[in-house]
Amino acid sequence: MTPGTTRFLPTRGLTLASLAAATALLTACASTPSADSGPVSYRLDLCAAPTPATAAGTVAAQAMQTVQILPVALDGALDQTGVAVQTSPVSLSIAQRHLWASPLPEQLSQRLAQGLQQRLDAQGRAVRVVASSALLPASGPAPWRLAVEVSHFEGLNAGDQAGSARVSGRWTLMDASGVRASRAFDTTQPLAQAGYPALVQALSCAWQQQAAAVAQTVAQAVTSRP
């Protein structure tokens, strides 16, 4: 990975012994061949799509409900144009040449909405997921709202050269009566190989794990709603 701006953080679980290997992760990424020495932009991926529901007419038989994804609250140290790698217990390197194609909070909201919609469709649930209040229906049941806070969304060392991606935070599902479910999450996804493309792919898949977890909770909640 190319050198980037270093920001200093409170200690967040890395040991001092991991510094050398985290540096190796950065070095290996910097040596990744590139046909263009200019900036490279990345979009989060949806990873593997779930299998669609097999029961025909399942969705049509249910009253359609709506889940609104509220703007993702991303830790300020991560809300940057460059991809982040934690290089020590107290420092975060922000890439200067490997950049997010659009603001990361927007990508997180959009990919969460898409992943959640895919999984609810695969379960045959009559739920529409939107990432903007402008898309809320004018009538029908009061929408569910999903608030997500993200405290970690970066590369880190996992004891090997390729490293890992870490995604952590908390999501909260609410309806008109208040909070219906709230869960903390902390996921580590190994990188298939060193390099920013592999890091972004691992971050994408870790994020979609949260979409799968939320889908299970939403499916139970919409079924139990009076």
pLDDT in tens, 67-102: 999 999 999 999 999 999 998 888 899 999 999 999
> Rounded distance, CA 163 to CA 100, Å?
20
Contact (Cβ atoms closer than 8 angstroms) between residue 84 and residue 99: no
Average pLDDT over residues 164-187: 95
Closest CA to 211 of 160, 134, 155, 148: 148
Closest CA to 201 of 212, 190, 213, 210: 190
Query: Given pLDDT bands bounded at 50, 70 and 90, which one contains residue 129?
Result: very high
DSSP 221: H
How much of the chain exceeds pLDDT 70, in percent? 74
Query: Given pLDDT bands bounded at 50, 70 and 90, which one contains residue 161?
Result: low
Q: What are phi and psi of 102, to 5 degrees?
A: -145, 165
Specify the residue for token string 């299998």.
51
Q: Looking at this protein, which amino acid is placed at residue 98?
A: H
Query: Given pLDDT bands bounded at 50, 70 and 90, which one contains residue 26?
Result: low
Q: What tens digit of pLDDT does each residue of 189-215 get?
A: 999 998 999 999 999 999 999 999 999
Query: Given pLDDT bands bounded at 50, 70 and 90, which one contains residue 157?
Result: low
The per-type count for the chain, helices as H runs and strands as E runs, is 3, 10
**pLDDT at position 140:** 78
Residue environment code for 88-101, b if the CB has 16+ CB neighbours within 10 A, otherwise e: bbeebbbbebbbbe
**pLDDT at position 34:** 45
**pLDDT at position 25:** 52
Count of C-beta atoms within a 10 Å radius of residue 188:
14
Average pLDDT over residues 7-23: 49
Specify the residue for token string 């939320």.
214
Domain 65-79+102-224 fold? Rossmann fold (3.40.50)
Q: Where are the domains of the chain?
A: 65-79+102-224
53 by DSSP, 3-state: which?
Answer: coil
Longest Cα separation, the chain: 58
In the predicted structure, residue 56 carries a pLDDT above the cut 60: no
Specify the residue for token string 């208040």.
178
How much of the chain exceeds pLDDT 90, in percent? 59
**pLDDT at position 10:** 55
Mean pLDDT of the chain: 82
Average pLDDT over residues 37-44: 92
